[in-house]
Chains A and B, each alone.
Chain A
């Protein structure tokens, strides 16, 4: 009962802040609303008994990525309202792109049916011990490959950021 109310509350806040990411004129407000969205998503993960995912979500998205966003927006001084001009062509293109995404979401919802968890083991999958076992036993290669991908992205960013050419 309590978790249902919590779910409704979290969903309402998530939708409200997600809409405000788009509607706010000020980039800093957008970034902060996005952070709020990430927090509510972390709350949803906790409701789904995936504590590890929730905490990592907060650490990575709210604690690292959004801080860097905020940092960049502050450093580039993008905090003046209405400094991005929107021509009609841009609005048109953005409308089509957003509409296509919307269509895709609707399409995926159409073929969606509510899954009933039959295996009680599966509800414990979000706990760190089970997740670690599965990640390092069954999915070791994809895990390692994705970490190499991250490393190469990091090295690439450092390369691009270097002032003097090598």
Chain B
């Protein structure tokens, strides 16, 4: 491993990190703008042109707020909770291919952090340890509403993980690879997985909503019955971390949806464009980000359209509708794969 390669990977990691944070920051503004649009008002427009400085003002406010820690809180775990949530939210971006290869001076630079051959399983692992941040934070606050919120969040995330994994397993079956890079590369041009896996996509996107704790599945922070759920006792930037990681999760989930089902950096007619491969890579990355932006808009669209589920409805939907649906999809996929081998 030479130093050249190492600096490239480190700068790529730094770039992706900064980009995730920047996108999450402006996703909060976009959310408020979209909410304003849906409710026939203007949304934030005081700080900067079109409210472009609003996220900066919000962040500054969160930093300046008083740091308050409950008297009987478990101090170490109380701080660990939001940190863990943030860490886990940022971890999964490592296996997403942000573009093809850039050829600079005869050397190929991959726009993916780590092309590990078990990339899909890596995302499973990251998703499954995402529960800890919420549970630890909720428990360490020493507040019964926070604890109830944490328990709810954990049971919701565990329940929806199952169906989500089942949906991804069908993708692995059709592509025959566990590497996200291979999965994206096989959807070259317009051969996107959505054409062969519509049921799987439906299951996946619903589970992605539940895993990100977004409406209609935002039961863990259900204001009307649990005050604020697991982050009731949090203030200042620790609360900011919890809220912010939701937007990072949304960004990563959109990137995963685009990569697994909508071809990632592939776009139609990429072979007949007649430009150099470097340009294809750059356009591909731009196309990927357009797809991600669209899915983030879908997240917001649904949040401001649908009301929240009741808790028993949520559980029934996860276990009795989504999981059987994912299993039927799995069997159907296997059947078709045998039939048209």
Contact B178 A128 (CB under 8 A): yes
Contact A74 B128 (CB under 8 A): no
Chain A residues near B127: list those with CB within 8 A. Answer: 63
Q: Does B116 contact A (CB under 8 A)?
A: yes
Contact B125 A55 (CB under 8 A): yes
Q: Does A28 contact B (CB under 8 A)?
A: yes
Interface residue ranges of B96-140 to A (CB < 8 Å): 116-118, 121-122, 124-125, 127-129, 131-132, 135-136, 139
Interface string of A23-62 (1 = CB under 8 A from B): 0000010001001000000000000000110011011001
Binds A, one of B5-13, B51-59, B150-158, B211-219: B150-158
Contact A75 B151 (CB under 8 A): yes
Q: Does B147 contact A (CB under 8 A)?
A: yes
Name the residue among A52, A59, A71 with the largest chain B CB count within 10 angstroms: A59
Interface residue ranges of A117-157 to B (CB < 8 Å): 127-128
Chain B residues near A32: list those with CB within 8 A. Answer: 77, 136
Contact A74 B151 (CB under 8 A): yes
**C-alpha spacing A74/B138, complex, angstroms:** 10
Chain B residues near A79: list those with CB within 8 A. Answer: 139
Chain A residues near B77: list those with CB within 8 A. Answer: 28, 32
**C-alpha spacing A55/B119, complex, angstroms:** 10
Chain A residues near B158: list those with CB within 8 A. Answer: 64, 67-68
Quick one: which of A52, A59, A71 contacts B128, CB cutoff 8 A?
A59
Contact B121 A59 (CB under 8 A): yes
Quick one: which of B74, B129, B150, B154 contacts A58, CB cutoff 8 A?
B129
If A28-B139, A51-B118 touch, does A58 touch B155 (CB 8 Å cutoff)? Answer: no
**C-alpha spacing A71/B155, complex, angstroms:** 8
Contact A62 B129 (CB under 8 A): yes
Chain B residues near A10: list those with CB within 8 A. Answer: none
Quick one: which of B116, B128, B135, B151 contacts A51, CB cutoff 8 A?
B116
* Chain B residue at smallest Cβ distance from A66: B132
Interface residue ranges of A66-98 to B (CB < 8 Å): 67-68, 70-71, 74-75, 79
Chain A residues near B121: list those with CB within 8 A. Answer: 52, 55-56, 59, 128
**C-alpha spacing A35/B161, complex, angstroms:** 19
If A55-B125, A67-B158 touch, does A35 touch B132 (CB 8 Å cutoff)? Answer: yes
* Chain A residue at smallest Cβ distance from B124: A59
- Rounded to whole Å, the gap between the CB of B85 and the closest CB of chain A is 14
* Chain B residue at smallest Cβ distance from A75: B151
Chain A residues near B131: list those with CB within 8 A. Answer: 63, 67
Contact A74 B125 (CB under 8 A): no
- Rounded to whole Å, the gap between the CB of B281 and the closest CB of chain A is 28
Interface residue ranges of B56-92 to A (CB < 8 Å): 74, 77
Contact B117 A67 (CB under 8 A): no
Interface residue ranges of B147-182 to A (CB < 8 Å): 147, 150-151, 154-155, 158, 161, 178
Chain A residues near B118: list those with CB within 8 A. Answer: 51-52, 55, 128
* Chain A residue at smallest Cβ distance from B178: A128
Name the residue among B116, B125, B135 with the largest chain A CB count within 10 angstroms: B125
If A74-B151, A127-B117, A128-B118 touch, does A62 touch B128 (CB 8 Å cutoff)? Answer: yes
Contact A74 B150 (CB under 8 A): yes
Contact B147 A67 (CB under 8 A): no
Chain B residues near A71: list those with CB within 8 A. Answer: 135, 151, 154-155
**C-alpha spacing A62/B122, complex, angstroms:** 13
**C-alpha spacing A157/B117, complex, angstroms:** 35
- Rounded to whole Å, the gap between the CB of A98 and the closest CB of chain B is 28
Contact A67 B125 (CB under 8 A): no
**C-alpha spacing A71/B147, complex, angstroms:** 10
Chain A residues near B151: list those with CB within 8 A. Answer: 71, 74-75
Chain A residues near B74: list those with CB within 8 A. Answer: 28
- Rounded to whole Å, the gap between the CB of B233 and the closest CB of chain A is 15
Pairs A–B under 8 Å by Cβ, sample size 7: A51-B117, A55-B122, A59-B121, A62-B128, A63-B127, A68-B158, A74-B151
* Interchain residue pairs A-B with the least CB separation, the first 5: A63-B128, A58-B125, A55-B121, A59-B125, A55-B125
- Known A32-B77, A71-B154; 20 more pairs at CB < 8 Å: A51-B116, A51-B118, A55-B124, A55-B125, A59-B124, A59-B128, A62-B128, A63-B125, A63-B127, A63-B129, A63-B161, A64-B128, A64-B158, A67-B128, A67-B135, A67-B154, A70-B135, A71-B135, A74-B135, A128-B117
